[in-house]
Amino acid sequence: LPCQFVAYYNHKLHDNNDILFQVQKDEQDLFESFIKRNSYICGSYDKEDGFIRLKVEIETVGSRLGACPNRIFYLALPPSVYCTVTTNIQKICTCKSANAWTRVILEKPFGKDTQSSFELAKHLAGLFNEDQLYRIDHYLGKEMVQNLMVLRFANRIFAPSWNREHISSVTISFKEPIGTYGRGGYFDEYGIVRDVMQNHVLQMLCLVAMEKPISLQAEDIRDEKVRVLKCIAPISADEMVLGQYVGNLDSHIEEHRISYVDDPKVAKDSITPTYALAVCRINNDRWDGVPFFLRCGKALNERKAEVRIQYREVPCDIFPAGQVKRNELVIRVQPNEAVYAKLITKQPGMGFDITETELDLTYHERYKDIHLPDAYERLLLEVFCGSQINFVRSDELEQAWRIFTPCLHDIEKNRRKPVLYKFGSRGPAEADELMRQNGFVFTGTYKWKPFSSR
């Protein structure tokens, strides 16, 4: 593939700038070949002269190729400069030839609420066609998130029970063991709901809850996502638990002793949440009455992202009270990618006791010699190929903000204080209580173990 990478930034490179790559020993030659294809332009985001130099660099590449090159612009920028940068790109740096295309990759956040997102979408629509815009949510590139559609629509055993008659609740979790120290300036402006729940977690909900698309074409899949989003009522602030981590002074790990507000870029009286649990309700025939628990947080006890589908209790249970636990289907997104189902079986032996176990597909055991690509590897390749299956369309974004904007404005207007929780804990106990009140059953001490720890 004859491609060239041109970096554009508003600071100069220095000789002591390190190249931050982890290179495998057998990939050193590929890495050196890649580095040779890179060049660098220093320029301002809001002045045209830098973009003119960028245009000259791109045209120099084109002259070597003997054609106007296709162009992908990947914007990993502060949201405050999106409008000026995209305006300059469209005005100066795009190829006007009908034989070449321009694609623009945009990183979140795509606004802070319905109004700001609408204004950004309107601005972009005035510059580019929708098929040129790739709003990236890297969770859509993760192996197990992509597997959700296959599990649902390629396995008949799930179809009859994937509804309110059999499923009691769905919990979608995103947990990180690290805090926000060092990026507090950005995080304090947005908070955990805007940073994670409104995008990563909601996208996973769409894949769990949407109807079967008529094909695997990008527009058919995204149409179904929009349809299910339109069925979701705006989340009520009364059905949310918000938390903010404080330092755990009993910890021997220095990072765990740091509170969120200890970041020098965060105000000491900040009420920005670093943890959130929300109850989401889908008003359609399939999911009416089934709570979807959206849960995400920083500085928690583990790194984990998963979808947990809890089934209803067995009717007319003939076994001793309390022995039969609820079945669960768990799709483990990270780490240790896996799909496992919690089942009740007979305890081996002469007696007739029952026990809880699982049917387990752990990816690193079943597919030992297969490389699972990084999410960005997969998504950037899809941009090269022109596939928008795993990118967010403008009307998806509109519906996502419709769901979250009212509760965000309510929380901010009333300056609702988050519940404090210790760094390294499970988060606020109030979150577990809200889940119990809405029908989730914590089924005891059983916990799935990856093969590596068995």
Q: With contact defined as beta carbons under 8 Å apart, do 31 and 23 qualify?
A: yes
Point out the catalytic residue in the list 11, 200, 256, 371: 200
Q: Establish whether 200 is a catalytic residue.
A: yes
For the beta sheet containing 291-297, the strands, ordered from the edge strand earlier in sequence to the opposite edge, are: 354-362, 338-346, 328-334, 304-311, 167-175, 291-297, 275-281, 240-246, 419-422
Say which residues have a Cβ less than 8 Å from residue 92's Cβ, sequence separation at least 6: 48, 51, 52, 54, 55
331 DSSP β-pair partners? 307, 339
CB-based contacts of 445, cutoff 8 Å, min separation 6: none
229 in Cβ contact with 206 (< 8 Å): yes
Residue 384 has a CB neighbour count (10 Å cut-off) of 12
Q: Provide CB contacts within 8 A for 88, sequence distance 6+.
A: 45, 48, 51
Helix (H, G, I), strand (E, B) or coil at 341: strand
Map residue 263 onto helix, strand or coil. Answer: coil
The secondary structure of residue 197, as a DSSP letter, is: I
Query: Letter for the amino acid at 96?
Result: K
Rounded to 5 degrees, φ, ψ at 440 are -75, 135
Size of the chain, expressed as the number of residues it contains = 454
Residues catalogued as catalytic: 200
